[in-house]
Amino acid sequence: RAPAEGVMEHDRLAEIAARIAHTVATIDALLGSLLAAASDPLEVEAITRAALERPDHLVLGAGVVRAGSRPSLSWWWRRSGEPEPLTVALEPNSLVFYDVEHRPWFLEPWRTGTLSVVGPYLDRSGTDTMVVTLTRPLPGEPPGIVGADLALDAIFDVLVAEPAARDLGAILENSEGRIIASANPRYTMGELDRGPWRAVVTCEQLPWRLVVHEAVGEAETAE
List pLDDT tens digits, range 152-195.
888 888 888 778 888 889 999 988 888 988 988 888 888 898 88
Residue 222 is predicted with a pLDDT of: 35
Threshold 0.95, pTM exceeds = no
For 193, counting Cβ atoms within 10 Å of its Cβ (0-12 exposed, 13-18 middle, 19+ buried), the class is middle
- Please write the tens of the pLDDT for every residue from 42-99: 999 999 999 999 887 789 999 999 988 888 889 999 877 788 898 888 888 888 888 8
* φ, ψ of residue 214 in degrees (nearest 5): -60, -25
- Please write the tens of the pLDDT for every residue from 90-138: 888 888 888 888 899 999 999 999 999 888 888 776 667 788 899 999 9
Residue 131 is predicted with a pLDDT of: 86
60 and 66 in contact (C-beta within 8 Å)?
no
Beta pairing partners, 149? 61, 133
Is the pLDDT assigned to residue 221 strictly greater than 50?
no
- Please write the tens of the pLDDT for every residue from 135-148: 999 988 889 999 99
146 closest CA partner among 218, 56, 55, 43:
43
61 and 77 in contact (C-beta within 8 Å)?
yes
Position 204 confidence tier, pLDDT thresholds 50, 70, 90 = confident
Average pLDDT of the chain, as a whole number: 85
